[in-house]
Amino acid sequence: MKEMELKYGCNPNQKPARVYMNEGELPFEVLNGRPGYINLLDAFNSWQLVRELREATGLPAAASFKHVSPAGAAVAVPLTETLEKMYFVEGVHLSPICTAYIRARGADRMSSYGDFVALSDECDEQTASFLAREVSDGIIAPSYTDRALEILKGKRKGTYCVLKMNPDYIPAETETKQVFGITFEQGRNNIKLDNSLFDNMVTDNKCIPDDAKRDLLIAMITLKYTQSNSVCYAYGGQAIGIGAGQQSRIHCTRLAGNKADVWFLRSHPKVLALPFLPELRRPDRDNTIDVYISDDYNDVLAEGMWQQYFTCRPQPLTREEKRAWLNQVSGVSLGSDAFFPFGDNIERAHRSGVSYIVQAGGSVRDDNVIEVCNRYNIAMAMCGIRLFHH
């Protein structure tokens, strides 16, 4: 098939809409549902991300996409007991690809609501079963087991979008797009991200352990498919905070850092022990945890709304308790899709436990950025690679 008609474009008034190939066949099959314009943008960006993560790390990879940027990305690093509790999978033996998916979805569950999922490896029955319980628009993977496909076809009253991607497809070296009737052309961003990112260590601390190198690769490959400006915090084999599409680098760093802080606070003993009502659905639990961690929780208590979520009234997580918990965090990796212009980005990153950084370098204030890293004993590499994506 060389072309496919779509219901509409980005918005219902944008008709007609289609995807097509100038040469050859479309490199994907629709196994179920009817993908939309934005679905396919998410699908192809997320597929590239997980394919590159798989190649760079050797581990199965998954991504959760919303509005052409990742909400989460991860590889198949086994979950700790604490993460099993955070992700509501206690005592479950997970397959590698399911582990990657659980991690990717767990990075920022609020943003992943209604996402498009990408898997680097075959979708198995276990992954499909977990995905069946989530609010999601679709999935792209190289293949599906028969049982997995059966499960996914039953999702969303039979309309769930299931795409099978040809893993051997290689796009042309030149890509084009139109804006306002004007055609743009450029070479595809096919740069390979690997351990050469760490060749130029510019700080006093030049030690980046292997697990941090893996996390920095995850961060940088994630940023390659994130709307710029963008910054990504990664830890333990997954992204934990992504700041996308901000006009200011410091706002990227703050946004992603705040998301990383929330991710760590989800492991606080008070959060793990929240007495949820048994019938409370998972999305409602996620929303409730977000409110509980935020400064709005006291307002919820004051309004007597806790009975809607809990079997008994939990004590608030105070600002002092939150800061004390986050002060214990270290070993976080941080990637940036372009240079940090000022040291304030490093100050903010340090507050979220960042110990390792990769960024392009090339700012007139590189000396200030390096100075702040040295103050906190942060190891930083300047890779000389900009990863803008628009």
Q: Whole-angstrom Cα distance, residue 228 to residue 352?
A: 21
Are 119 and 127 a contacting pair, CB within 8 Å?
yes
Beta carbons within 10 angstroms of residue 5's beta carbon: 11
- Please identify every residue annotated as catalytic: 66-67, 229, 390
Assess contact for 119 and 141: CB atoms under 8 A: yes
- DSSP assignment string, 65-81: EETTEEEEEEE-PPPPH
CA separation for the pair 262, 253 (Å, rounded): 14
Note the helical H segments in the chain: 37-57, 81-86, 96-106, 109-112, 125-132, 146-153, 210-224, 249-265, 269-272, 282-293, 297-302, 319-326, 344-351, 366-375
Three-state DSSP class for residue 181: coil
The Cα–Cα gap between 239 and 233 comes to 6
In contact, 60 and 75? CB cutoff 8 Å: yes
Q: Name, in order, each residue with C-beta under 8 angstroms of 104's C-beta and a sequence gap of 6 or more.
A: 62, 63, 64, 72, 73, 74, 112, 117, 238, 239
Round to whole Å and give the CA distance between 185 and 172. 12
CB 214 within 8 Å of CB 232? no
Joined together, the tokens standing for residue 12 give 């219902």
